[in-house]
Structure 1
Amino acid sequence: MDFLIREIRGDEWERSRELRLEALLDPVASIAFLESYDDAVERPDSFWQERAEGASASGAGVVRQFVAEGAGGRWLGTVSVLVERPTDEVRFGEAAVVDQTHIVGVYVRPEARGAGVIDALFRAAVEWSWALPEPAVARVRLYVHEKNARAEAFYRRFGFTASGATVPMPGDDGARELEYELARP
């Protein structure tokens, strides 16, 4: 399968919205995302426009969204990366004690799974993280639901290791999100 990994452009908000809504309909969405389809579909266009602009290369530089673009321009998958500094407000999990990035919004369309798309998206996200200007990022982190074995297996295969930190799953206090990290080489 041929595809290109690239950063989104701010004017691609409709395509970004479409892929996010599809991701939220995936059978594992309830353990993979902290947002429901019903909530997301109700968001105004302005929300999606701001989100895409902020995650593009022309955005503020604290979020970047990458997509795998296949033949005919079809988006096959996506991943977003958030920059987290110790002085930042906590978005999810524990406060950053080092400069780090946080991978979120991971999704690959079913027809593109197993074709290397997720590996390429993660390489782009990690390379972008390591290339950020000073202060250098010490690690890349992500969270995975304790019952999301498919995602957890990929993260381990890619080189992430469990940090030992866990947080309650929002909306389901009985479930846990496990933090995985990849230290700067």
Structure 2
Amino acid sequence: MEHDCVVRAVRAEEWPRVKELRLAALRDPAAPVAFLETYEQAVAEPDSHWRARAAGNSHATRARQFVAVGPGDQWAGSATVLVEEPASQDIFSKEITRRQAHLVGVYVRPEHRGSGVTEALFEAALAWAWSLEGLERARLYVHERNPRAMAFYRRFGFVRGAGVARLPGDPPAEEYEMVLDKP
């Protein structure tokens, strides 16, 4: 199935839609192994949080959120790129040693999965990342119990990196770093 979506960066004024899509992602059955945030945490955030998130991801040079907009103006999915700088810490409090892109918050609504939307989101996200000076690598983390996502990332060219983040829980779990060098 071929997608009929247009992929573009979010706009600051679209914060209600950013919020709705994130909440939908966090209600997905795969959410516990796909996201580090819970639905309860996200729904408790005030509107100011969502306004700031959309504004910061719409035009900044350190983060950009891409959305796939389908027929009827429905948002089919999104992916966000964070720019990580050396001597800072990542989302797992690990030191960053190089300037790189970090893909996070990847979500495609179930009815659009397998249609090419995820590939289109990754192509847009990485094209933006590669356009930034000094970014030679992209990375992401994938939960050890998320084989569907891991398989997609491999098909897209990502390989297992050296990073492993241990997550608390019962049982404890791991997130594996996957990396892709700039072509």
TM interval, shorter chain, is over 0.9
Please point out which of 141, 148, 151 is paired with 1:150. Answer: 148
Q: Which residue of 1 aligns with 2:77?
A: 77
Aligned residue pair count: 181
**2: CA distance, partners of 1:111 / 1:156:** 22
Say whether residues 1:53 and 2:48 are aligned partners.
no
Runs of 4+ residues over 4 Å off in structure 1 = 170-173
Q: Which residue of 2 aligns with 1:109?
A: 109
**2: CA distance, partners of 1:94 / 1:88:** 8
- Closer, same or farther: CA 51–173 of 1 in aligned 2, 3 Å: farther
Q: Which residue of 1 aligns with 2:158?
A: 160
Letter in 2 for 1:66: F
**1: CA distance, partners of 2:5 / 2:121:** 11
Aligned ranges for residues 103-142 of structure 1 at < 5 Å?
Answer: 103-132=103-132, 134=133, 136-142=134-140
- Closer, same or farther: CA 31–123 of 1 in aligned 2, 3 Å: same
Letter in 1 for 2:10: I
Give the TM-score, by structure 2 length.
0.95
Q: Which residue of 1 aligns with 2:36?
A: 34
Task: Report which stretch shifted further, 173-182 or 107-116.
Answer: 173-182
Q: Which residue of 2 aligns with 1:181?
A: 179
Unaligned runs of 5+ in 2: none
1:145·1:169 contact (CA, 8 Å) conserved in 2? no
Identical-pair percentage: 52
Secondary structure of 1:24's aligned partner: helix
Letter in 2 for 1:159: G
Q: Which residue of 2 aligns with 1:92?
A: 92
**2: CA distance, partners of 1:6 / 1:69:** 8
Task: Report which stretch shifted further, 81-90 or 147-156.
Answer: 81-90
Q: For 1:102-135, what per-residue CA distance to the aligned partner results, in whole angstroms no more than 9, with x for missing partners?
A: 0000000011001100000001111111001x3x
| RMSD (Å), alpha carbons | 1.3
Q: Which residue of 2 aligns with 1:5?
A: 7
**2: CA distance, partners of 1:91 / 1:175:** 16
Secondary structure of 1:162's aligned partner: strand
**2: CA distance, partners of 1:173 / 1:98:** 32
Q: For 1:158-177, what per-residue CA distance to the aligned partner results, in whole angstroms no more than 9, with x for missing partners?
A: 00000132111254572100
Please point out which of 159, 166, 169 is paired with 2:167. Answer: 169
**2: CA distance, partners of 1:87 / 1:117:** 34
Letter in 2 for 1:10: A
